[in-house]
Structure 1
């Protein structure tokens, strides 16, 4: 609720919280391989239950429309090495369906009735192997 308020979007009275697993992050210092300098980075140490609100629960300032992951990811060896292991891990361990034909600008949805999440795939060349 505090985060929505910071964005100028107060949560509607009576809105119900949704419980999710949120990462517990800790900053750790390490020596960079190339620079040999001390670097600080966030490391996930575990998960905890936390409450969030549905994006439709608050009102106020419109949300930005920029997606978290852009749709114009260039095909590359790096993208392929990163993308396919991520998709395989997600689809093997969670009720996730990958669909390259999904056209909604949201890039996916979660259905509590079907207990599944549908995500739009980003790299069409790689999608043909799914």
Structure 2
């Protein structure tokens, strides 16, 4: 009975820590503000880009979750950029117009339909510097906590995990192959965060999942923040910005998905703690034998 009570107490303590981190995440996202220089860089970048409809932005994000600034090949060429070899175009809609023949105004046209046109995200290009290059969107560093988190995901996950060329993304989860690939270019700290993010996708977002792109990304990054911070890796600088971008200014997004974030995070933390206990137990037994 005492053992059961102690386990219950430890569980509640863990639950409270997860809830505390969830509140920190919610407050951090709501309060997150770009610094003035960064905000100016974003405005300058926006001024260079074509103005696409919200519908097209959603279509682009469905194909390319990390999309930020998109433009056609011609516009990137004008900015001194070229498309990186091997990158695939993102398809969006462009209206088709037809001149109104019976109009008294010679320049009257009507939309008769839409066609698919190719565009590319800024991360799919290379060349002349852009305002966005002034903004650091990376977690730097190599700490023991990050390396331990990487080891825990690798041992606990049933996915095939590889590190290599991920194109423009930091990482991705392949639902069909049930595999995770993380960019080899990332620092160890960023690699750990990305690995947890994709691990959450592998646990929650299987084929046939009806969740929206916003829900999937907010939940994955929210869980990554909680799990990483629970085990000593602070990802707030990156995670607050990431969730803020995906929630599109919707202050209720985190509240809406908060329960799922808490539940998934708690389960992953429990798995990781079991892993740590298993790893420590042989050493404890050996020490006892030596004594």
Scaled to the shorter chain, the TM-score interval is 0.3 to 0.5
Q: Which has the larger radius of gyration?
A: 2
Going by fraction, where is helix more abundant, 1 or 2?
2
What TM-score do you get using the length of structure 1 for normalisation? 0.39
Task: Choose between structure 1 and 2: higher strand proportion.
Answer: 1
